[in-house]
Amino acid sequence: MKVHEYQAKGLFADYGVPVDKSILCKTPEEAVAAYKKLGVQRCVVKAQVHTGGRGKAGGVKLATNETEVRQYANAILGMNIKGFVVDRILIGEAVNIKAEYYVSIVIDRKSKGAILMLSREGGMDIEAVAKDTPEKIFKIAIDPAIGLTDFKAREAAFKLFDDMAQVKQAVPLFQKLYRLFVEKDASLAEINPLVLTQECELKAIDAKMTFDNNALYRHPDIFDMFEPTAEEQKEQEAKEKGFSYVNLGGEIGCMVNGAGLAMATMDMIKLYGGNPANFLDIGGSSNPQKIVEAMKLLLADQHVRVVLINIFGGITRCDDVAKGLIEAFKTLQTNLPIVIRLTGTNEKEGRELLKGTSFIVAETMSEAGRKAVEAAR
């Protein structure tokens, strides 16, 4: 789950990570009022959207008087940045930048824990730095059992700074950021740029955080900030109905019982040259109501051209599943081809029941994959 810069900065402030003073605004009038309230000569006007690269898209402007604040607020509000329409802006006290650094804490699969990533080449082109000069990005693994110790934090600080005065500021800053990362179950806490001001202070002037969705139940304060996209909305609704659903954008809608089988089904579709529209695990029942709900979910996806139902009958018997499917499709209106593969307990009886229906019945997994891909063409 993503949050906006202003929300991440709020969390930074709660944990003592230094940030610039800023005020969230929804209109140009509010922006002007915020500018006056900050009482600074120069301020930044920044788009608040769930995507990076706002600076390059024209969503970050430096204003030096009221007229400019109004003008930039007007221009940025309503702007479309990578598909996100700006409905909020942040008015921040402009800082005098001496140098920009990159700092982040992220989960690293290789070391199976959090790592601190650092670079002296912070600012807007960190992706290019990572690609062209990866040696300029330092990674320090943090042992989850002991946390970010003083000596590790100092080792990290020396990667960025040569001056002891800055190292002394950076050490507690990294440790506070790590505490925030762990306590809120974040998957990313990024400062780009962390700036050294002309006054020799370290400040986070941008902040980005993402959180582990599986841990949101224990962070109601974070969950309150959830602004789902249309896709996430759908995934959330599916979750509430007891499904595990992920949209993947392909043309073959999948309805499968069991996560492992769902993964294997997606592989099979890929093998025959098709693309799964989604991952959907409907769990272990053949309840017609559940099948109807799952089908509705699939049919609401405009990309879906074929539905592939792959069911393994263990405790649930295949003939019951077949009955459930026939029952469910009485209430569903669709012209889409439906490929069904049933295997396990009473599979023959199940297939027998499906004979003479409009379902395309397959016996094996590969036959089902092949038939679904053919039907999609």
Binding site for substrate, by residue number, is 257, 314-316
Among 10, 18, 55, 337, binds ligand GDP (CB under 6 A): 55
Question: Which one among 97, 106, 167, 326 touches ligand GDP, defined by CB under 6 A?
Answer: 97
Specify binding-site residues for Mg(2+). Answer: 192, 206
Q: Does 89 bind ligand GDP (CB under 6 A)?
A: no
Question: Cα 25 to chain center, whole Å?
Answer: 25
d(CA 206, CA 249): 32
Q: Which does 94 bind (CB under 5 to 8 A by kind): ligand GDP, Mn ion, none?
A: ligand GDP
- Sign of the alpha-carbon torsion through 130, 210, 218, 15: positive
Nearest distance, CB of residue 188 and ligand GDP, angstroms: 14
Q: Which of these, 105, 109, 132, 99, lies nearest to 118 by C-alpha position?
A: 105
For Mn ion (CB under 5 A), the number of binding residues is 2
Binding mask 177-216 for Mn ion (x = CB under 5 A): ---------------x-------------x----------
Gap between the Cα atoms of 133 and 121, Å rounded: 10
**Which of 75, 79, 94, 299 is close enough to bind ligand GDP by CB under 6 A?**
94
What would the two tokens of residue 350 be?
Answer: 């199940």
Residue type at 180 in one-letter notation = L
Which residue among 8, 11, 28, 52 contacts ligand GDP (CB under 6 A)? 52
Residue 362 near residue 341 (C-beta atoms within 8 A): yes
Annotated catalytic, 6?
no
Q: Would you count residue 60 as binding ligand GDP (CB under 6 A)?
A: yes
Q: Is 185 helix (H, G, I), strand (E, B) or coil?
A: coil
Nearer CB in complex with Mn ion: 206/235: 206
Please confirm, yes or no, whether 190 is among the known catalytic residues.
yes
Q: How far is the CB of 51 from ligand GDP (least distance, A)?
A: 8
Q: Is 124 in the site for ligand GDP (CB under 6 A)?
A: yes
* Active-site hit among 93, 190, 235, 347: 190
Q: Strand, helix or coil at 211? A: strand
Q: Cβ(210)–Cβ(104) under 8 Å? A: no
Transcribe 70-134 into DSSP letters: HHHHHHHTT-EETTEE---EEEEE---EEEEEEEEEEEETTTTEEEEEEESS-STTHHHHHHH-G
Q: Compare residues 191 and 255 and give the one whose CB is closer to Mn ion.
A: 191
Q: Which residues, 187 to 246, sit near ligand GDP by CB under 6 A?
A: 192-193, 205-206
Q: Using the rule CB under 6 A, which residue among 44, 170, 177, 209 binds ligand GDP?
A: 44
Return the closest-CA partner of residue 270 out of 287, 255, 250.
Answer: 250
Buried b (16+ CB within 10 A) or exposed e, 263-289: eebbebbeebebebbbbbbbeebbbbe
Interface ranges with ligand GDP (CB under 6 A): 20, 44, 46, 52-55, 60, 62, 92, 94-95, 97, 100, 123-124, 192-193, 205-206
Residue numbers annotated as active site: 102, 190
Binding site for Mn ion (CB under 5 A): 192, 206
